[in-house]
Chains A and B, each alone.
Chain A
């Protein structure tokens, strides 16, 4: 009798667990990406006199998942290209195109499932060295985008890479 009861209880727990697992799997989660491979409208502007380079491009922010998700934090960091970097001051900002400019502050945003919007990545380089040297040393500048997403499963960190052609 007791053995049958324990067996029945275990069967109930097992069925419930399996049902929940199937439901959670079916429900899915958000899948948010800064799709740098689909980036467009690249623009690199050099001012030889002031020794500045401004780079910008548009990067789609897409949620390919089955649930909404939130992008809480976004940090952009240029890769380190050796000693020439000591001559440079680089700032990189990313913002949603439809959001007001907030001085580089990324306001936490909900990205609805199966939607995409555009974000603008802007990189400003101030150089102490001549820009020809900068272009020779860093023909292509890679910027890493680290972003924090909160979805049904919790916090996830992802990264994406955008690349600017400095030499041309």
Chain B
């Protein structure tokens, strides 16, 4: 048995679109029984309207201070993205996560505790410049309720579905997956990020098992 991975080009997807209609237009003609339909998490978030312009966010003292301790390769190094996460996950929780993460980093030398304590949204946020135009000037949060979205896709199209956060660095996270799809298989496939991180415009990928 081998695998076929089919990235599907789409139009630029915006909050004005409907996810089910997008899948019906761009993916349904190619879907076969047994396929797994995989969506990029950022596209689900964009359709859900989970994007904010920095001008719409007023960074608090805590956001300004905490962002200064984040490496500039990370999305949360901008006070606006940090404030967006504080608004999303709760200010108290984010400050608590920051304090705990600082302590465990200094005392135990352990990294990543901020994201463990601040919640999944903190690791999914894409700061300004983190997305392709026309969303390059927005902070894009992670999708809301991805499990429900995946279940709805399965119900509508009769195939397995997953929502994935993949990038060119080989870091893959599966946010939601329906019961019949293989998590380990998807992790393996998406380590190579077949949908691409640049302007490929292929946010939908079909993963198909073949007999050859």
Which A positions have Cβ atoms within 8 angstroms of B?
Answer: 20, 23-24, 27, 67-68, 70, 72-73, 102, 105, 107-110, 150, 152-155
A-B contact pairs, 18 of them (CB 8 A): A70-B128, A72-B128, A72-B129, A72-B137, A73-B137, A102-B133, A107-B136, A108-B129, A150-B78, A150-B80, A152-B64, A152-B68, A152-B79, A153-B64, A153-B79, A154-B64, A155-B54, A155-B80
Cβ-neighbour of A109 out of B59, B65, B80, B129 (below 8 A): B129
Task: Looking at the assembled complex, report how far the CB atom of B196 sits from the nearest CB atom of chain A, in whole angstroms.
Answer: 16
B16 interfacial by beta-carbon distance below 8 Å: no
Chain B 53-81: CB-based contact to A (< 8 A → 1; otherwise 0): 01100010000110110001000011110
4 closest Cβ contacts across the A-B interface?
A108-B136, A108-B129, A68-B72, A108-B137
Cβ-neighbour of B79 out of A67, A68, A110, A154 (below 8 A): A154
Contact B68 A24 (CB under 8 A): yes
The complex places the Cα of A116 from the Cα of B68 at a distance, in Å, of: 23
Interface centre among B54, B65, B80 (most CB of A within 10 A): B54
Contact A72 B72 (CB under 8 A): no
Contact A108 B68 (CB under 8 A): no
Cβ-neighbour of A155 out of B55, B72, B77 (below 8 A): B55
Contacts of B129 in A (CB 8 A): 70, 72, 108-110
Contact B67 A152 (CB under 8 A): yes
Chain B 130-167: CB-based contact to A (< 8 A → 1; otherwise 0): 00010011000000000000000000000000000000
The complex places the Cα of A105 from the Cα of B132 at a distance, in Å, of: 12
Interface residues of B toward A: which range?
10 to 19
Interface residues of B in 104-134 (CB under 8 A from A): 128-129, 133
Task: Looking at the assembled complex, report how far the CB atom of A71 sits from the nearest CB atom of chain B, in whole angstroms.
Answer: 9
A-B contact count (CB 8 A): 43
The complex places the Cα of A70 from the Cα of B80 at a distance, in Å, of: 12
Contacts of A155 in B (CB 8 A): 54-55, 80
For A153, the closest partner residue in chain B by CB is: B64
Contact A67 B72 (CB under 8 A): yes
For B67, the closest partner residue in chain A by CB is: A152
Contacts of A70 in B (CB 8 A): 78, 128-129
Task: Looking at the assembled complex, report how far the CB atom of B106 sits from the nearest CB atom of chain A, in whole angstroms.
Answer: 14
The complex places the Cα of A73 from the Cα of B137 at a distance, in Å, of: 8
Given known A-B contacts A27-B68, A67-B72, A150 and B133 have beta carbons under 8 A apart: no
Contacts of B64 in A (CB 8 A): 152-154
Contacts of B65 in A (CB 8 A): 20, 24
Contact B128 A108 (CB under 8 A): yes
Contacts of B59 in A (CB 8 A): 154
Contacts of A27 in B (CB 8 A): 68
Contacts of A153 in B (CB 8 A): 64, 79
Contacts of B78 in A (CB 8 A): 70, 150
For A24, the closest partner residue in chain B by CB is: B68
For B134, the closest partner residue in chain A by CB is: A105
